[in-house]
Amino acid sequence: MTRHLLSLDRLTSDELLQLADRAKTLSDLWAENRSPQSLTSKKVALIEDDSGWRNPSALDLGVHALGGLCTRVPVSLMGGEATEDLAAYLANWFDLIAIRTPQIRHLQKLADHSSIPVLNLRTRTNHPCETLGDLSYLRGARGSWEGLTIVAVAPVGNILNSWIEAARVLPIKVIQVYDYDYLLEPSSLIEDQIEATDSMSAIAEADVLITDCWPKDGNAELLRRYQVSAARLDEAKPGCTFIPCPPVTRGQEVKADAMLHPAYQSPAAKAYLLHAQNAYLEWALGDQTAD
């Protein structure tokens, strides 16, 4: 079985737990400069078909840290070459394809035609590695995901969507908080599991609070009501973990004083992006004879 990672809800809760626990181990080994050479002889194609630097940089560095070879391949799924042809050529030289591309339908087509694993580094629809990294950090810091309430002060977008994917398979609850015009469709909601409201009072339920950037078409005066400040963080549950999604625009979705609040743990959480991706790479490229 080819172990693609296109969205979190295509993995089981046990598989997500396995990846998160391995990410914690890899993080500890990284801190001791003892990263295992578990990707020795493995070759990864890195395709950057969209902007952004964190995931691709972490992927490149992470592969090399585990003894593998990562090569940037300057191709696009939106070019003239057929996706099925690209998939075949890439499989000649590489063991796995890691790709950041705008449209998830193009990513799915690549996976459908690929004989080697495909890793989603981000689409405009979802961002599974980002959320898997946060989940791995939370697992290490808290010991369990059981019963966590994730409050997402964010419009519908790839960050919120990946947390919703996680909520479909893990024992967590996601509450979206945003202006009414940017809320989830009612068909996406599941009672006591995935909820949406335009009231910032929901922050009081937050074990974990995340944010995403303002929509480009948004009204600044209206959206400022959804700005997370230090005072807002004081309203969350004791011990709340605040993980704003980078890049953070201070003065928009986040007030500068929130970045100084004790709940703010984004740098430590985002360090797990590299380790969560590496955990997936080991899993995807490891011995699968037991499957």
Q: Is the pTM of this model over 0.95?
A: yes
- What is the mean pLDDT of the segment spanning 111-134? 98
CB atoms within 10 A of CB 291: 6
Please check whether residue 224 is in contact with residue 178, taking contact to mean a CB–CB distance below 8 angstroms.
no
Both tokens assigned to 135: 């989940």
| % of the chain at pLDDT higher than 90 | 97
pLDDT tens digits for 270-280? 999 999 999 99
Q: What share of the chain is helix, strand, coil (3-state, %, to 5)?
A: 45, 15, 40
- What is the mean pLDDT of the segment spanning 72-97? 96
Asked if 8-127+271-285 and 129-270 have one fold, the answer is: yes
| % of the chain at pLDDT higher than 70 | 98
- What is the mean pLDDT of the segment spanning 239-250? 97
- What is the mean pLDDT of the segment spanning 24-30? 98
- What is the mean pLDDT of the segment spanning 128-133? 98
pLDDT tens digits for 175-221? 999 999 999 999 999 999 999 999 999 999 999 999 999 999 999 99
pLDDT at residue 154 in the model:
98
What CATH number labels 129-270?
Answer: 3.40.50.1370
- What is the mean pLDDT of the segment spanning 100-108? 97
> Residue 6 — pLDDT band, cuts 50, 70, 90?
very high
- What is the mean pLDDT of the segment spanning 40-47? 98
Specify the DSSP class assigned to residue 230.
H
> Residue 137 — pLDDT band, cuts 50, 70, 90?
very high
- What is the mean pLDDT of the segment spanning 98-116? 98
pLDDT at residue 34 in the model:
98
pLDDT at residue 289 in the model:
36
- Decide: helix, strand or coil at residue 19: helix
The torsion angle over the Cα atoms of residues 268, 271, 272 and 276, rounded to 10 degrees, is: 170
**What one-letter code names the amino acid at 154?**
A
Q: Is domain 8-127+271-285 annotated with CATH 2.40.50.140?
A: no
Residue 153 confidence (pLDDT) above 70: yes
CA triple 105-115-55, angle to 5 deg: 55
pLDDT at residue 1 in the model:
86
Residue 288 confidence (pLDDT) above 80: no
> Residue 287 — pLDDT band, cuts 50, 70, 90?
low
First to last CA, the chain: 8
Residues 120 and 112: their CA atoms lie apart, in Å, by 13
| Domain boundaries defined on the chain | 8-127+271-285, 129-270
- What is the mean pLDDT of the segment spanning 12-21? 98
pLDDT at residue 290 in the model:
37
